[in-house]
Every structure is written in C-alpha cells, then in structure tokens.
Amino acid sequence: MSTPLTPGSIRARTAVISGAAFLMATSAVGPGFLTQTTVFTARLGASFGFAILVSILLDLAAQLNIWRVIAVGERRAQDIANLVMPGLGHVLAGLIVLGGLAFNVGNIAGTGLGANALLDIDPRVGAAVSALAAISIFVIREAGRAMDRFTRTLGIVMIALMAYVMLTSAPPLGEAALRSVWPLEIGVLEIVTLVGGTVGGYITFAGGHRLLDAGVHGEAALPLVQRSALTGIGVASFIRIALFLAALGVVTRTDILAAANPPAAVFEAAAGTIGRRVFGVVMWAAAITSVVGASYTSVSFLRSSVRAVDRWPRIATIAFILVSTSIFLSIGRPVRLLILAGAVNGMILPLALGVMLVAAHRRSVVGDYRHPRLLTAAGILTAVLMGALGAYTLVRELPRLFS
C-alpha cells in the first residue's frame, strides 16, 4: 500500500516527479541504445533523424496513455490487466520480467565496458563493482528516494556530456532537420529496434509505477503525472537527438562502422583524446541507471503474484541484480539473448498499450474518469503500427537467432 504525499510537501512531490521522469528516461537510454543509434546513423546518415522523430512521437502516445491509466486506476499495470481479462496480467508480467532480465544482462555488460573505457580495468571487474554500486541503493531504507537522486544526478551528467560531444562534432544541422521530415531512406527495422529499445518492455512502466509507489495517483494527480511523463520524454529525446547529431557530425568525416566500438569511435573523433574517457562516463551512467530501472520495474511486476516479493521488494530487487550479474560473468555478453529480448519487447508494447487503452474506458478500473479521445486515437495508432512492425521484426530475427 502506497502512502500519499503530504499536500504541503512541495519539495518531496517535486523530487518524486523528477525522479520518476529520470528513472524512465535513463532506463530508455541504455548501452544498447548508444550502439544502435551510432550504427544506424552510420547506415542511414541524416535520414535516421526521421526514425528518431517517429520514435519520439510513438513514445509520447505510449507513455502518456499508460501513465495516466496507472495513476487513475491506482493499480500497477499487471493488476489493471487482470481486471481487463483474468490472467492477462500474469502473462504481461511474465513477458516484462523475461525481457527485463535479458536486457539487464546487457546493461551489466555495459557497465563493464564503460568502466573499461574510463579506468582501463577488466570489463568483468567493472561490471561486478558496478553491480555492487547498484545494490547499495536498495540496501538503504529510503531506497526510493536514493534511486530518484541517483538517476537524476547521472541523467544530468549524461545530458551535459552529450551536449558537449554534439557541439564538438559540428554536425550538419540543416541537413539533419530536412531529412528528419523528408528522409531519403526509411529504415523500418531501425524504427522498430529504436522504439522497442526505448519504449518497449519494462521502460514504459518504470515512471508510472514509481509515482504509484510514491503515492502520486488519482485523477487529481494527473497534472503532476503528465508533467513527470513529459519531463522524462523530453530528457530521453534530448539525449537521443544529441547522440544522433554527434554521430552524424562524425560519420560525414570518417567510417565509424569499421571501428571495433562505433560509439567510442564517435566520442574519440568528436572530443579528441578526452573522448574515450567521456564515452566511458556516458556508457557507465547509461548502463547503471538502466540496471536500476530494469531491476526496480521488473520486480514491481512480480509483487502482485509473489507474496515474498511484495513483502521484501528491496531484497527481491537485489536478487534480480545479482542474477543478472552472475549470468554476464558466467557466459559473457549474451548477444542472442539480447536479440530475442528485443523481439519480445517489440510485441510487449502493443499488448501492454492495448490493454491500458481498454482499461481507460472501463468504469471498473477508472470510475467516472474520461480518457482524452485524442490520446486514445494516438494510442490505437501506435499499438496497431508497433504490432505490425513488431511481428515483422520477430519473424525476421528469430531465424537468425536460432540459425
């Protein structure tokens, strides 16, 4: 049971709102995103800006719908799904936890790569130490507040460093603006991958569940919920655009796809000798905040069906991080697992969003609340589009996965 915030506690309310926003934003900007954006920019050039724009629009439609329904329904997403159709919430929770665990292994790997670039230490050592740092947040009694401060601080660091790299790379801004609305080439697979990796799976629910746990819920709280969602989308979008422009400025002068680590090559080419260290900070910050977000949100989906998890959520979150770290340390970077998780995430978004849209118009869930028609229409369009594209991606990637 969540404890509502004291009405006069403006500082506490503001901290929770910004914390939920940064939890979602930093979860959306993980190590996979850094690599995908760099590689796709090298492939499509300025036209990749169109994929960025589409992903932001789909992000808005998905996040605003889901956050509002969670707030008004005053329940976690899986409980709302069970009200729509008995058992559906358990299916949704299973998919979220599966995808969250798979991506968390990749996030742990990302902390190792970041630590290696920053401090020249073994990636496995860096990953182990980073896992301990993430665990320390959930050891603290006020874990929610600690998580808010942690993600907010590192989110601001990433914004500052990405802005610096973007400016030093001198991208062709006019060409980028033109091709973002009039692309020479539309990359369908790139759009699905980007949306699935930044909106799909656990990411869509991270901020909404955090606000619910902090007591920010109910129809009266919708202005605060929407403000938090828009802030998170704004932060994630800025980082997406900054990385795209930084990579674009570099790819116009050199072939980064030939590099062993394309994102690191962008930072080095844009920022000189200090670029590799800057990349290390950004990669580590992106990865460890994603570890925190994936672990917290995945565990929140188990709280409705596993009594022990609901009773000891912090211990369950720590266990989730330990399992993810153990998998990485034992088998290394799980490329095939990450591909499968990406395909699953492409299917989770339309399912989750579709359920939330149905719930938004069920009196048994939202009472007398009336969901905005424009949001409903945008949500339906997003769910149908991602359902079709997600199915296409799933069929295309599965043969490669098991070949």
Question: Cα separation of 14 and 36, whole Å?
Answer: 33
So what's the pLDDT on residue 47? Answer: 92
- Residue bearing tokens 């938004």: 360
Each residue of 372-403: pLDDT tens digit?
A: 999 999 999 999 988 887 677 666 655 554 55
Write out the two tokens for 24. Answer: 């979602």
Residue 43 near residue 371, CB atoms below 8 Å: no
Q: Which residues contact 148 (CB under 8 A, 6 or more apart)?
A: 15, 16, 18, 19, 20, 22, 23, 210
Higher pLDDT, 111 or 197: 111
Whether residue 151 is predicted with pLDDT greater than 80 in this model: the reply is yes
Dist. CA 220–CA 274, nearest whole Å: 48
**Rounded Cα–Cα distance for residues 325 and 131 (Å):** 7
Instruction: Kindly report the pTM of this predicted structure.
Output: 0.88
pLDDT of residue 332 exceeding 70, the answer is no
Average pLDDT over all residues of the chain = 85
- CB of 332 closer than 8 Å to CB of 393: no
Q: What angle do CA 129, 279, 101 make, to 5 degrees?
A: 50
49-58, 201-210, 212-221, 294-303: range with highest mean pLDDT? 294-303
Predicted confidence band of residue 345 (pLDDT cuts 50, 70, 90): low
Identify whether the C-beta of residue 110 lies closer than 8 Å to the C-beta of residue 31.
Answer: yes
Among positive and negative, which fits the CA dihedral 77, 232, 171, 158?
Answer: negative
Whether residue 285 has pLDDT greater than 70: yes
Which residues have C-beta within 8 Å of that of residue 333, sequence separation ≥ 6?
Answer: 105, 106, 109
Q: Say if residue 122's pLDDT is above 80.
A: yes
The answer, yes or no, to whether residue 4 has pLDDT greater than 60, is: no
Q: Please give the pLDDT value at position 275.
A: 87
Arch. (CATH architecture) of 10-361+368-402: Up-down Bundle (1.20)
Q: Say how far apart CA 40 and CA 45 lie, in whole Å.
A: 8
Q: Give CA–CA dist 218/212, Å, rounded.
A: 9
Categorise residue 86: left if φ over 0, alpha if ψ from -120 to 50, beta otherwise.
beta
Residue 107 has pLDDT above 70, yes or no: yes
pLDDT digits 0-9 by tens, 172-207: 999 999 999 999 887 777 777 777 777 777 888 999
- Residue 30 — very low, low, confident or very high, per pLDDT cuts 50/70/90? confident
How do the domains of the chain map onto residue ranges? Answer: 10-361+368-402
pLDDT higher at 226 or 203: 226
pLDDT bracket for residue 77 (50, 70, 90): very high
- In this predicted structure, the answer to whether residue 258 has a pLDDT above a threshold of 90 is no
> Residue 7 has what pLDDT?
47
69-73, 75-79, 189-193: segment of lowest average pLDDT: 189-193
Higher pLDDT among residues 190 and 164, named by residue: 164
